[in-house]
Every structure is written in structure tokens, then in C-alpha cells.
């Protein structure tokens, strides 16, 4: 019974390609996020969605496009991948404001 | 925007010692402060949290203290064990649905 699940777990791709990461939560939460964790382990928020609506876009390049078909899903599509996009991407969800965020297992993206 | 600073970046202790990690935040509107533990190759997981109406919270060997006036909060782990070795992140929520993390502390507990 995985609460927040994301696929794939590993993704290796060439520069210039387009790829997607999928995320689903079965917790009934209203809010979902994408975080990027770089090689130094910094966790930076990229996007926040509440009930399918974009709430926060932290100056992420527009090559990154999140899509939320319903409040249980938040997918991340990345166009024209660059070497600097290599990182671990975490999806997370929370029931609302000022509450704990539950993380998915992460997707390790490697751009070669 | 909110800025969360965390110190130290690395911390090495002997098994049985105590470990303290400190964080400061900038936005006085922040009122929820969780701590996450991330083991190697795993996801961050909540270990303890504190809200601004409380100054201290304890759960077995871990405790968190909050000083809202000074805008800092700390994680205390007593009687450390090797399985406490991990990266620890503090965080704050300054506004609507935006969890801002500190830079992380790599804790190493040697047997």
C-alpha cells in the first residue's frame, strides 16, 4: 500500500531528449509537490499544486511542465534535457497547509 | 522569501553521545517546523515536528526546541545509535503550501 509512488525509479537518457516522471498518491491529499535534490543533497521545491491547480512555480525553466489530471496525480514532463537536470526528483503530498509532506521514493534522473 | 539555514553540515559522534542540529529561519510568518531524516538512497521521512505555539516537543530519544523570538529551532538526539546515521533536514512553512528545507546535516554515529 504505497502512499506516494512515482515511476520510474531510475531514468538514464541522452541530452536533448524529452522524458516524463509520473506520481500518484492514494492518501486523499489535496496538495502535491515536486522537489529536486541535487548532488549536494539540497532539497528545492519546484512546483506545488492544490486540487489540480498550480500554486507555486519556483522559477523553474519552462522546459519543465507539471500536469495534474486529478488531485491524486502530478506528473512532470521535461523537454530538451540538459546535463544539469541530473538529480533525484521527489514527488510529495500533504493534506493541507502547515502539515507534514509525504515523499515518494524518488526518481534518479541521469542525463548523459 | 523564506530562507532556512542549517548547521552543522556534517556531524560525527560516538555511539551513546548526544547530537544537536540547529536551524534558523527568516520569515516570522512561519509556524510549522518539521524535521526529516533521509537514509542513503531513501526518501525523506518525518521524524518529529513542532508548531509555533509550543516551545519543546519530545519523542523518545529525539526532541525539538523552538525559539520564535530568535527564529531558531533545534533537533536533539540523545543516546545516538549507528542507525541514526543519515542526513537530517529541518524545514519551515512560510506561506501557503511551500515547505522550505534547510541545507541538511550529515550525521555519522560511530560504534
DSSP state of A98: T
Task: Kindly report the nearest CA distance between residue A45 and chain B, in angstroms.
Answer: 7
Determine the pLDDT at residue A1: 63
Cβ atoms A107, A6 nearer than 8 A: yes
Is the separation of the CB atoms in A41 and B87 below 8 Å?
yes
Question: B85: closest CA among B4, B14, B34?
Answer: B14
For residues B111 and B98, what is the distance between their CA atoms, to the nearest angstrom?
38
Alpha-carbon distance B3 to A107, whole Å? Answer: 26
Look at B31 and A101 and tell me if their CB atoms are within 8 Å: no
Apex A5 CA angle, A92 and B9, nearest 5: 45
* Chain segment B31-53, per-residue pLDDT in tens: 899 999 999 999 999 999 999 88
Average pLDDT on B76-88 reads: 98
Per residue in A55-71, pLDDT tens? 888 878 999 999 999 99
- Alpha helices of A35-102 — where are they, by DSSP H? none
CB contacts, 8 Å: B66 with chain A: none
Average pLDDT, integer, range A72-82: 97
Beta pairing class for B105-110 and B10-14: parallel
Is the CB of A39 inside 8 Å of chain B's CB atoms?
Answer: no
Of B43, B46, B97, the CB nearest to A48: B97
For A77, list phi and psi in degrees, rounded to 5: -110, 135
Average pLDDT of chain A is: 93
Name which of B43, B44, B93 is nearest A98 (Cβ-Cβ): B93
Q: Give pLDDT tens digits for A3-17.
A: 999 999 999 999 999
Overall residue count recorded for chain A in this entry:
112
> Would the CB atoms of A33 and B45 count as touching at under 8 Å?
no
**B15/chain A closest Cα distance in angstroms:** 24
Amino acid at each position: 500500500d504505497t502512499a506516494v509512488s512515482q515511476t520510474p525509479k531510475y531514468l538514464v537518457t541522452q541530452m536533448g531528449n524529452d522524458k516524463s516522471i509520473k506520481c500518484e498518491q492514494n492518501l486523499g491529499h489535496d496538495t502535491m509537490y515536486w522537489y529536486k535534490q541535487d548532488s549536494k543533497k539540497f532539497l528545492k521545491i519546484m512546483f506545488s499544486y492544490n486540487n489540480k491547480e498550480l500554486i507555486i512555480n519556483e522559477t523553474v525553466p519552462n522546459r519543465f511542465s507539471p500536469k495534474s489530471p486529478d488531485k491524486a496525480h502530478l506528473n512532470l514532463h521535461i523537454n530538451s534535457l540538459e546535463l544539469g537536470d541530473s538529480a533525484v526528483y521527489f514527488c510529495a503530498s500533504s493534506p493541507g497547509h502547515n502539515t507534514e509532506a509525504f515523499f515518494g521514493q524518488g526518481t534518479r534522473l541521469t542525463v548523459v | 522569501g523564506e530562507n532556512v539555514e542549517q548547521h552543522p553540515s556534517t556531524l560525527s559522534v560516538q555511539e551513546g553521545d548526544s547530537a544537536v542540529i540547529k536551524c534558523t529561519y527568516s520569515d516570522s510568518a512561519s509556524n510549522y517546523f518539521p524535521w526529516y531524516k533521509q537514509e542513503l538512497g531513501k526518501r525523506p521521512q518525518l521524524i518529529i515536528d513542532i508548531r509555533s505555539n509550543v516551545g519543546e516537543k519530545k519523542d523518545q530519544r529525539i526532541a525539538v526546541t523552538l525559539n520564535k523570538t530568535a527564529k531558531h529551532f533545534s533537533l536533539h538526539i540523545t543516546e545516538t545509535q549507528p542507525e541514526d546515521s543519515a542526513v537530517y533536514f529541518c524545514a519551515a512553512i512560510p506561506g501557503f503550501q511551500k515547505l522550505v528545507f534547510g541545507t541538511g546535516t550529515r550525521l555519522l554515529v560511530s560504534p
